Amino acid sequence: MKLIPHHESRPLQSLIAVFAAWKGFLLAIALGTTVSQDYDTSTSLFFEHAYGSSANASALATRLTRWDALYFMQAARHGYVYEQQWAFGAALPLSVRGIVWLLGPLAHLAGDAALEPVVAIVLANSAHLAAVLALHRLTLVLFGNKTLAYVAAVLHILSPAGLFLSAPYAESPFACLSFIGNLLFAAGLRPSATVGKRMLAFVGAGILFGLATSFRSNGLLNGLLFAVEALKCLLGFVRQPSVSRLALLASLIIGGLSIAAGSVVPQTVAWFRYCNVDPADGMEPRPWCSRLIPSIFTFVQSHYWNNGFLRYWTPNQLPLFVLASPVLTLLIESGLDVSRRFGQGLGRATPVVGEPYQTFVLTLGVIQTLVAVLAITNFHVQIITRLSSGYPVWYWWIANSLRNGETRKTGSMVVVFMVMYAGIQGGLFASFLPPA
């Protein structure tokens, strides 16, 4: 645990200090790459096209607007123009556009500056800090252990997602909304709370998870939390019917539907644009419009980005599987370990405080494991290093390893790996070099 010292009387101030130091380190790496030429000219072309050749783009904005961030910023600036852009969640571009609009009266102060990337960078870093504090609070609620809470939050700061959590990407807002959603869901599990408060907590959690899903589609898996708790509530109602159990069940259903809405609403907007068209106007419905489930997201991911079952399993992608293997191992091992220790939380050293949270933590472990498996079978596997940032179980697992004499060495090695990976990846990302 000496690897991550902390100030027990001021944990939040300590976390903010660690956060600032780590961000300073990563952003310094990004700015340091300005001494070399970009591997790709897409960023300069984007700024010239979106803002004109005389636009004032800060060095940090250009270094962090890389890879998928270009699609997010194009959508924030011009909306969704091309079909393939719908592979990227609408929430980040809409949030950036909304903030820029609110800043409209102050726009003259920025002159000809490129605002959207700067706003997105500030949003990403603010959301990351909020996620750190939310994870700290969530860990305290579930485990009642201050040291575990602090170390888990620091591990989220040091996430191998690295600069992706500072760049115009959806990972930081997703983690923030997911952790706060988990915190609200845990509040809904407290049997000492009134039924009304528990209902509000479940519905609020569903809304936050729905918003998280609008940033990243893998947020849909959070619906498992509601499905499991709804099943428990239904079984309890069958055994002993009551108005309170029925009300809680209704709130869980509403929460689950809210998560689905995070995916359905953007899909519906796309359907009206591409499917509800008149051939007389020279427009034909797109091929996905006639499918049983007319999802533009699944079509675009498959057609333009080659996502799908085992599609990434080709010899030339083997290095990316090797690169992703440490994080995949951590996610799967920690998820399965929590499942094996059902009823003991993360083990006897750190039992979950109270029976109501045991199934909750178990389900979080299952969700995390499913994401890892899907990354292996269906996704571009290298993105797991940033997807992992939004799931808490593996942070708890590593934090607990650092507390245990038998596993402390392994936990310390994992922390060293996280720091090294994030630093190297930051330099590659800012230089527009793979992996992304």
- Quick one: pLDDT band at residue 346, thresholds 50, 70, 90? low
**Contact indicator for 233, 242 with CB cutoff of 8 Å:** no
Give dist(CA 284, CA 310) in Å, integer.
31
Q: Which residue has tokens 């309170």?
A: 244
Residue 193 within any structural domain of the chain = yes
Higher pLDDT, 57 or 108: 57
- Quick one: pLDDT band at residue 66, thresholds 50, 70, 90? very high
- Quick one: pLDDT band at residue 399, thresholds 50, 70, 90? very high
- Mean pLDDT of the region 120-132: 99
Tell me the pLDDT tens digit for each residue of 238-260: 999 999 999 999 999 999 999 99
**Contact indicator for 214, 89 with CB cutoff of 8 Å:** yes
| 173 alpha carbon, distance to own chain's centre | 6
Collect all residues with Cβ–Cβ distance below 8 Å to 28 and sequence separation of at least 6: none
How many domains are there within the chain? 1
Residue 201 within any structural domain of the chain = yes
Q: Classify burial at 337, counting beta carbons within 10 Å of its beta carbon; exposed 0-12, middle 13-18, buried 19 or more.
A: middle
Higher pLDDT, 24 or 9: 24
**Contact indicator for 41, 435 with CB cutoff of 8 Å:** no
Residue 253 within any structural domain of the chain = yes
Quote the DSSP letter at residue 56. Answer: B
Residue 426 within any structural domain of the chain = no
- Quick one: pLDDT band at residue 436, thresholds 50, 70, 90? confident
pLDDT at position 105: 80
pLDDT exceeds 50 at position 349: no
What is this structure's pTM?
0.95
Beta bridge partners of 56: 113
Tell me the pLDDT tens digit for each residue of 311-341: 999 999 999 999 999 999 999 999 999 887 7
**Contact indicator for 407, 401 with CB cutoff of 8 Å:** yes
pLDDT at position 309: 96
pLDDT exceeds 60 at position 360: yes
- Quick one: pLDDT band at residue 53, thresholds 50, 70, 90? confident
Residue 196 within any structural domain of the chain = yes
- Mean pLDDT of the region 392-398: 96
**Domain assignment of residue 203, given as a range:** 170-292
Nearest to 209 by CA among 233, 176, 165, 248: 176
**Contact indicator for 435, 428 with CB cutoff of 8 Å:** yes
pLDDT exceeds 90 at position 281: no
- Quick one: pLDDT band at residue 41, thresholds 50, 70, 90? confident
Give dist(CA 422, CA 435) in Å, integer.
12
Higher pLDDT, 191 or 343: 191
Q: Long-range contacts made by residues 54-60, C-beta under 8 angstroms, separation at least 24? A: 54/112, 55/112, 55/113, 55/114, 56/111, 56/112, 56/113, 56/114, 57/113, 57/114, 57/117, 58/113, 58/114, 58/118, 59/31, 59/34, 60/27, 60/30, 60/31, 60/121
pLDDT at position 151: 96
Token duo for residue 419: 């720091």
Lowest mean pLDDT among 111-125, 231-245, 412-426: 111-125
Token duo for residue 165: 């959590």
Average pLDDT across the chain, whole number: 93
